[in-house]
Structure 1
């Protein structure tokens, strides 16, 4: 419940100030002026609210001085309380709290989804690409302003506000039922901690973690990460390749580009194909002539990877096909080869 306490902190603080002011006012009027409890409470309320009703009994000199300062202090308290209420009612914080609660309820029913820890540059890019691929995503972001802003633009995105290094937040994100987790937190130490914690919750979880330092890579792998990505290193290699192999880079950019020339890589598991196709050879599948897509690789049951496999290679249980083609070619392949659901 920590995220709710953090989001409600200002509201609780304002309520606490008003309650404290009431107690101080009632106690002071009762013992300084000799008022009964009911009279002291009445005097406190009309002073705080500045309604200006008549005093219960004439105040002493000390009572007038106390009332003057008490009134000035409460003007500040009331102004602060009104600002907090305005923020919750008109700037969407109350709505955000409610939406976070509803997200938690919905996420409890998720299975086979992807968790993204951190919604910075890398996390946002990963989330957008995964959503474009039709994956169900749960994002954990520590900064409430970021999640509030994102919800205004995409209310369908499942966002949780909190610290991804906490066990409670990972459980709320459904880490036990998730199929993968991407950790893109700013510090390597946090990413190591998330990988270690997530692996403890789910031994079968696929974990991809970001690292800034080369020395962190082995720590992340020991903590349970399946893959470690170093954005700075990749960026430097990419810039060097633009000089040494520019056309190769231009081709690779087609895979992530937009427009009619965009290419797409598709991963096809053998059990997704029609049953009558699963024992055929690559020649008999005739993927190129039937769909226009090109079979560029074959993962043989996780044991070896065949690049441009021989046409006489027969498909076996556990194989994964890697196809290259335009969106329309991939769609044609899906219509002709995929198992009907």
Structure 2
């Protein structure tokens, strides 16, 4: 069911008004039946005395200087004043404590999460690109609680929370927001902003907070790639040109596009993966392995399988290969 969010201050003010209403009702009941009450000084019960009696009665102070003496006044105290006293305490004291406890609990949970989380992935922007990136991370075995989403759209964050992801509301261009998201301790950062200028600023801020993280950024225009590289991006994906190339290929060789899409979709079919070289494979040619090897990563540099440097596999190399993925429904 939809839930209306009310700020703690509004909640407290609203309940204080309820308590004042309960106090006013008690004052009127006492004043209208003032003949049934007796004041120790013997001068009768005035309006001020009624306010005084209602206040000390509802707050359970009860000095005893004004007391109900008639049967009617005592019956009203039992049937009306006492329930109002309970309502007054619940509304004013109970709600205030609940609001303060909830805020403290949330602050404690955030602080505990920030102190423990390590090697997580921060995705800045939960649009089409951000959601696709998260889908790939989840299919690769990343746990939802190890993924943090940063966005300014609360509806987007609610959708991410429904998947079990950690969410942070705010702009990724702000360093304080990125600190809350745990960027200083993240192992990877995905910049999926819809604007290239924002992507540059986000990348620059993230790199300043975490000099060693793998930062992957997306841009729409190829001319902005060098700006992201200079800002500290480890990898840059040109979304518009990549989509345009696939569209152009689809006009003549749609099956090639289908194969590329299959390789880029990790849920089923074929997928491009990376693995360590096994000891038994050292010294051999990657072309003769049982896996379909596309490239060799050596000291952080990628060599295609037809490159002279990739003729023989060395210890410490990583292989980019094509693997078959079994759908989750068939496992």
Aligned to 2:320: 322
Give the match's secondary structure for 1:131: helix
Q: 2:124·2:149 contact (CA, 8 Å) conserved in 1?
A: yes
Q: What RMSD over aligned residues (CA atoms) do the two structures have, in Å?
A: 3.9
Rounded to whole Å, the distance in 2 between the matches of 1:139 and 1:316 is: 38
The change in CA–CA distance for 1:129 and 1:258 in structure 2 (over 3 A counts) is closer
User: Is 1:15 paired with 2:5?
Assistant: no
The change in CA–CA distance for 1:304 and 1:232 in structure 2 (over 3 A counts) is closer
1:305-326 residue CA offsets vs partner (Å, 9 max, x unmatched): 1324689933224422111131
Aligned to 1:133: 140
Aligned length: 258
- Which of 139, 151, 156 is matched with 1:146 structurally? 156
- Runs of 5+ in structure 2 lacking a partner? 32-45, 49-90, 327-331
The change in CA–CA distance for 1:130 and 1:254 in structure 2 (over 3 A counts) is same
Counterparts of 1:183-262 in structure 2 under 5 Å? 183-257=191-265, 262=269
The change in CA–CA distance for 1:133 and 1:222 in structure 2 (over 3 A counts) is same
The change in CA–CA distance for 1:143 and 1:318 in structure 2 (over 3 A counts) is same
Rounded to whole Å, the distance in 1 between the matches of 2:242 and 2:20 is: 70
Aligned to 2:62: none
Q: 1:196·1:224 contact (CA, 8 Å) conserved in 2?
A: yes
Give the match's secondary structure for 1:253: helix
Rounded to whole Å, the distance in 2 between the matches of 1:282 and 1:121 is: 40
Aligned to 2:285: 282
- Runs of 5+ in structure 1 lacking a partner? 1-6, 23-41, 59-80, 329-341
Q: 1:110·1:174 contact (CA, 8 Å) conserved in 2?
A: yes
Aligned to 1:61: none
User: Normalising to structure 1: TM-score of the pair?
Assistant: 0.62
Rounded to whole Å, the distance in 2 between the matches of 1:190 and 1:312 is: 38
User: Is 1:53 paired with 2:29?
Assistant: yes
Rounded to whole Å, the distance in 2 between the matches of 1:221 and 1:114 is: 20
1:113: how far off?
2.2
> 111-120 vs 230-239, which deviates more?
230-239
Aligned to 2:120: 113
The change in CA–CA distance for 1:296 and 1:224 in structure 2 (over 3 A counts) is closer
1:183: how far off?
1.2
Higher Rg of the two aligned structures: 2
Rounded to whole Å, the distance in 2 between the matches of 1:218 and 1:237 is: 20
The change in CA–CA distance for 1:248 and 1:145 in structure 2 (over 3 A counts) is closer
Give the match's secondary structure for 2:297: strand
Q: 1:281·1:311 contact (CA, 8 Å) conserved in 2?
A: no
Q: 1:114·1:181 contact (CA, 8 Å) conserved in 2?
A: yes
1:252-288 residue CA offsets vs partner (Å, 9 max, x unmatched): 122245887x112111134xx3xx33633137x9531
Rounded to whole Å, the distance in 1 between the matches of 2:104 and 2:159 is: 13
The change in CA–CA distance for 1:150 and 1:207 in structure 2 (over 3 A counts) is closer
1:200: how far off?
1.0
